[in-house]
């Protein structure tokens, strides 16, 4: 099955670490990163989509971050 996640985080080193951890867990970058202002919290936020091929069947109950 093909899996998809959108990683988001404030514009800090934490975002880079989150993406790096996903890459080291076998996820692949999908598309360009995104960057925008979170007016509710007054911070800039980053986003990056990642994909991964995994065995098994899809279920909405999957914990994508644990695969």
- Answer for the pair 55, 3: CB distance below 8 angstroms, yes or no: no
Distance of CA 51 to the CA centre of its chain: 9
- Would you say the C-alpha torsion 1, 65, 27, 4 has a positive or negative sign? positive
| pLDDT value for 14 | 96
For the chain, the domains span: 2-57
Beta strand pairing status for 2-10 and 43-53?
antiparallel
Nearby residues of 52 by Cβ (< 8 Å), 6 or more positions away: 2, 3, 5, 25, 26, 27, 28, 67
Mean pLDDT of the chain: 94
pLDDT over 70, % of the chain: 100
| Prediction pTM value | 0.86
């Amino acid at each position: 099955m093909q899996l998809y996640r959108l990683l988001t985080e404030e514009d800090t080193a934490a975002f880079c670490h989150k993406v790096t951890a996903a890459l080291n867990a076998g996820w692949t970058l999908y598309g360009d990163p995104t960057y925008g202002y979170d007016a509710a919290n007054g911070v800039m936020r980053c986003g990056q989509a990642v994909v991964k091929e995994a065995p098994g069947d899809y279920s909405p109950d999957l914990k994508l971050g644990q695969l």
